[in-house]
């Protein structure tokens, strides 16, 4: 029994190691010099391995085809991946929101553990690029690579999506699957930075805001999403964990218009904030307002907030009217941006879209169209919010595919 695994990312490594338990031989084909190239940069290089929530709650974190993952997530759980990684000496910790990271805060430790799991004695690692699938009489028979032809009883496609092409996710897996008769839902960016109409974002690019609340609204002012956390201003608009999560919720509404409102002081009501501003103003009566907000705002943001409040920046604090103060509070509690679009697919953390789930057996990850062909990871049309859920989908589908691909039919 020979199994070929195409792609050495998260899904590919776990698929190879799992298949090796039952198969005589596993060939793991990876075109990069190293395994887990994308895994090394996830979670800002810390690697958000999974999330410590209940599996039932986790399924709700996949806005696209979450129910498809039911069998995979229960077969190989978040506890299972933590146990596997810790068995190779990598201790883990749980942070805010249930996010699981290595204690070392170093993604390379996770890659090292998964590499050891993948490269069992009966696994051969090939640095090569898969170019096409070999299908005869409707069944998978192997693959053709840049360097040769390899026969196999099963092939697992873990080629990734189309995000971060510099890590090897170039969408080639989609093209091969289409040639095999599969439907590919057009890949679009998911968990991606956002472009804004307002140009002042570029003036404060690099500024990071922590503990803010961001709410997205459609053109009819219906709330689409609200989240609390960290965001970042960039030359094109906004990014950061909070914005990436938000991006997954606004895809369908974007063409009709989406605005986001940033609450800079979510812990305070409008009245409490007004009282706080009054206290600060009492102590700085003779200062210009441009120099009187240091205790409330990052320095870079002060000119923007004053301008949006329609207050003359060199007006003395003692001359600020109640109406001007109200406008200031309104901007603090609702700094508004108009979203014009997503950044390109190559900048997305993950791809939304991929192999149509109705063409894959959710209990085995085997193709319903080509016996012996399996799929795992981001190549499948599933995506999730930030928090370790996308990686868990890769671990779970990879494990399930590896387990079933190695079973004699």
Q: Which two tokens stand for residue 296?
A: 């409330």
Closest CA to 192 of 230, 116, 243: 243
Give the integer Cα–Cα distance in Å for 57 and 196: 32
Is-contact 38 169, C-beta < 8 A? yes
Q: Which two tokens stand for residue 151?
A: 């026969």
The domain limits of the chain are 2-189+352-405, 193-342
Q: In what order do the strands lie in the sheet with 149-151?
A: 130-136, 139-145, 149-151
Q: What is the pLDDT of residue 309?
A: 96
| CA dist list (Å): 222 to 225, 247, 250, 332 | 9, 16, 11, 21
**Which three-class secondary structure state does DSSP give residue 104?**
coil
Instruction: Answer whether 0.85 is exceeded by the pTM.
Output: no
- Indicate the pairing of strand 237-239 with strand 258-263: unpaired
What is the greatest pairwise CA distance in the chain?
86
CATH 3.30.70.3040 assigned to domain 2-189+352-405? The reply is no
Is-contact 191 343, C-beta < 8 A? no
Closest CA to 263 of 209, 184, 318, 192: 209
Give the pLDDT means over successive 10-residue stretches in the chain (409 positions): 97 98 97 92 91 96 91 98 98 95 98 98 97 96 97 96 60 92 88 93 96 95 93 95 89 90 96 93 90 93 96 92 95 97 80 92 98 96 89 98 93
Q: φ and ψ at 125, to 5 degrees? A: -95, 125
How many helical (H) and strand (E) elements, i.e. helices and strands, does the chain have? 13, 19
Q: What is the pLDDT of residue 168?
A: 54
CATH architecture for residues 193-342 = Orthogonal Bundle (1.10)
Closest CA to 174 of 188, 164, 166, 185: 185
Q: What is the pLDDT of residue 44?
A: 82
Cα angle 76, 77, 83 (rounded to 5 degrees) comes to 95
Q: What is the pLDDT of residue 191?
A: 82
CA 377, 380, 385, 386 torsion-angle sign: positive
Q: What is the pLDDT of residue 220?
A: 93
């Amino acid at each position: 029994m020979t199994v070929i695994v195409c792609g050495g990312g998260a899904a590919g490594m776990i698929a190879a190691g799992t298949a090796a338990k039952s198969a005589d031989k596993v060939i793991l084909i990876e075109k990069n010099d190293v395994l887990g190239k994308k895994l090394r940069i996830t979670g800002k290089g810390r690697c958000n391995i999974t999330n410590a929530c209940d599996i039932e709650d986790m399924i709700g974190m996949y806005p696209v085809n979450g129910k498809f993952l039911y069998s995979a997530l229960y077969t190989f759980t978040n506890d299972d991946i933590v146990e596997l990684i810790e068995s190779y000496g990598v201790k883990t910790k749980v942070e805010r929101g249930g996010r699981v990271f290595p204690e070392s805060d170093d993604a390379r430790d996770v890659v090292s553990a998964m590499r050891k799991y993948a490269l069992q004695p009966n696994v051969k690692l090939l640095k090569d690029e898969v170019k096409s699938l070999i299908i005869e009489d409707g069944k998978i028979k192997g693959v053709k690579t840049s360097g040769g032809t390899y026969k196999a009883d099963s092939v697992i496609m873990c080629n990734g999506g189309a995000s971060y092409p510099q890590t090897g996710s170039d969408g080639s897996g989609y093209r091969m699957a289409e040639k095999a008769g599969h439907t590919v839902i057009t890949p679009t960016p998911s968990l991606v930075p956002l472009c804004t109409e307002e140009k002042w974002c570029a003036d404060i690019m690099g500024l990071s805001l922590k503990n803010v609340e961001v709410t997205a609204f459609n053109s009819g002012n219906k709330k689409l999403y609200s989240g609390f956390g960290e965001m970042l201003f960039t030359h094109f608009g906004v990014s950061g964990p909070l914005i990436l999560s938000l991006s997954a919720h606004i895809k369908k509404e974007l063409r009709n218009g989406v605005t986001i409102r940033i609450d800079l002081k979510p812990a305070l009501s409008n009245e409490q904030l007004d009282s706080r501003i009054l206290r600060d103003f009492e102590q700085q009566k003779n200062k210009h307002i441009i120099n009187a907000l240091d205790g409330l705002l990052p320095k870079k943001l002060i000119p923007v907030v004053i301008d949006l409040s329609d207050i003359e920046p060199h007006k003395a604090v003692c001359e600020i009217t109640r109406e001007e103060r109200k406008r200031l509070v309104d901007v603090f509690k609702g700094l508004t941006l108009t979203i014009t679009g997503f950044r390109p697919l190559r900048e997305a953390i993950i791809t939304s879209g991929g192999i149509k789930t109705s063409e894959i057996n959710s209990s085995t990850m085997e193709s319903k169209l080509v016996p012996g062909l399996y799929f795992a990871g981001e190549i499948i049309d599933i995506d999730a919010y930030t928090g370790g859920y996308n990686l868990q989908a890769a671990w779970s589908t990879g494990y399930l595919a590896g387990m079933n691909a190695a079973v004699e039919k």
